[in-house]
Amino acid sequence: ERRAALAASTGPGATADGHKVPLLANIGGPADVAAALEAGAEGVGLFRTEFLFLDDSKNAPSEDKQVVAYRQVLEAFPEGRVVVRVLDAGADKPLDFLTPADEPNPALGVRGLRSLLDHPAVLRTQLTALAKAAEGLPVHLEVMAPMVADRADAKAFADACREAGLRAKFGAMVEIPSAALRARSVLQEVEFLSLGTNDLAQYTFAADRQVGAVSRLQDPWQPALLDLVALSAEAARAEGKSCGVCGEAASDPLLACVLTGLGVTSLSMGAASLPYVRAALAKFTLAQCERAAAAARAADSAADARAAAQAVLSGE
């Protein structure tokens, strides 16, 4: 029965009453494109570009090398949406030439957009390579920055995109609670938000994502995390802009319904999860998702939030 449900699960993501929720794939490079297409991804919601930088931790890859890799991905989704995240170095993804060696708390130090703003040539090369890779293609290119803390960060990134001549939508990842709390202010500078719930949980609960002993606090069902998702989605709606989720949270079928109920406008996940999330969404109306979301937010723990959402959606 499960297999039948999954086989029936093709086409664009939508709730039972037809509310569209584009289902996108998280990829780490051209090698992941085939699986994404096979799983029916409507595009790419998170292209982690770190892979290009891993061969050589002393130097950034050349512009030409980047153009080739980006073009391979962009060509695979004609007319589709591809959201590319600029380099997220530091903390769990250190790079010798960008990451300071002597930070006491690397997760709280110079990482993500911060390291790119300290090394503007690296950001400029990446943005120029993206602009060249997209030339002449009908793809809807969107480019976003990791670790945006506030409006000034968002503006610095948008300025860099404009200076590189990039014709794309510019966005900010919401991975730091300050960006969720002041999402409307961040949205004055960029056209979309994408919630990186892995880091957002880490920074909301002061719980290192690499430390198993605090994994309870990394649970994306934590009601405090759901509150920050809701704040971001409400801000985007008020500004007439989109707010997706590209962290692990999107790959849990029940949580995907709750995120939809919170107002999130797209979900991006590893390709293997796409059929399960598509099948779950198709079972419930938007109003049911909204009721499940409200029940989850009213809970006081991750376990209770999940149980409350489950109870609503199974009609208990």
Catalytic residue annotation: 246
The CA distance from 159 to 163, in Å, is 6
d(CA 83, CA 43): 8
Cα–Cα distance for residue pair 173/84, rounded to 1 Å: 11
Choices 119-127, 190-198, 277-285, 307-315; region in contact with ligand PEP by CB under 6 A: 190-198
Which entry of Mg ion, ligand PEP, none binds 246, CB below 5 to 8 A by partner kind? ligand PEP
- Region 104-143 residues binding ligand PEP, contact defined as CB under 6 A: none
User: Pick from 56, 84, 79, 88: which is nearest to 69 by CA?
Assistant: 84
The DSSP output letter for 188 is: T
User: Which residue is associated with the tokens 């703003």?
Assistant: 117
Q: Are 244 and 269 in contact (CB under 8 A)?
A: no
Is residue 246 close enough to count as binding ligand PEP by CB under 6 A? yes
- By CB under 5 A, the residues from 143 to 202 that bind Mg ion are 175, 196, 199
306 belongs to an annotated ligand binding site: no
Q: Which is nearer to ligand PEP, 32 or 88 (CB)?
A: 88
Total residues at interface with ligand PEP (CB under 6 A): 10
| Integer Cα distance of 54 and 60 in angstroms | 9
Query: How far is Cα 227 from Cα 250, in angstroms, rounded to an integer?
Result: 15
Rounded distance between C-alpha atoms, residue 294 and residue 258, angstroms? 8
Size of the residue set binding Mg ion (CB under 5 A): 3
Query: Does 59 carry a binding-site annotation?
Result: no
Q: Which residue has the CB atom at the shortest distance from Mg ion?
A: 199
Q: Judged by CB under 6 A, does residue 247 bind ligand PEP?
A: yes
Asked whether position 151 contacts ligand PEP by CB under 6 A, the answer is no
The Cα–Cα gap between 130 and 188 comes to 23
Residues that bind ligand PEP (CB under 6 A): 46, 48, 88, 175, 196-199, 246-247
Provide the binding-site residues for Mg ion, judged by CB under 5 A: 175, 196, 199
Which positions make up the binding site for phosphoenolpyruvate? 48, 85, 198-199, 209
